Chains A and B, each alone.
Chain A
């Protein structure tokens, strides 16, 4: 099993450009989520999904869109990149609700917006 796979690992964007960060998991997990981590900080939740076709906003959703058409994939779209979106982005998945199950994280996508 590959676990949670994120692509790309690194990306540089110009202000105003759009792009999609890819996240795929092969563990048949229902729950998937996107976090961002700024220097010296903990992770903050952007969007999450509790199953295919169901998504909702997290703590810092502005400037990002998500969709979940399959169980395996949960892409994160930046609509119009801004320097404030420079961060490391992590995708996570878990079998059930986070309380009683463990979450698996990808290795991250390091995004720089210039």
Chain B
């Protein structure tokens, strides 16, 4: 049973526009959420995170929104750049702080 779901395998966006990547989760015990970015032949790198006590966290062009009632989070990238083209993974952790559970990833393609 998949606890973290990224239902869109891919997303294509034009340079300068907004990219919105979505993530749903089923476990109400999750209290911390992270986004990772992965280029081919490299390991994932941490992008941004949010605690369940917040509904928004912003870092430069990247903003993560959390809707606890809907068990949904989203990553907004504004403006999108060609260098943002990568696979984006959503991840979640429960209060026990055990290992992160990752979604299947969404491949973002930003065209110039």
Say whether A associates with B. Answer: no
User: Which positions in B face A, CB cutoff 8 Å?
Assistant: none
User: Which positions in A face B, CB cutoff 8 Å?
Assistant: none
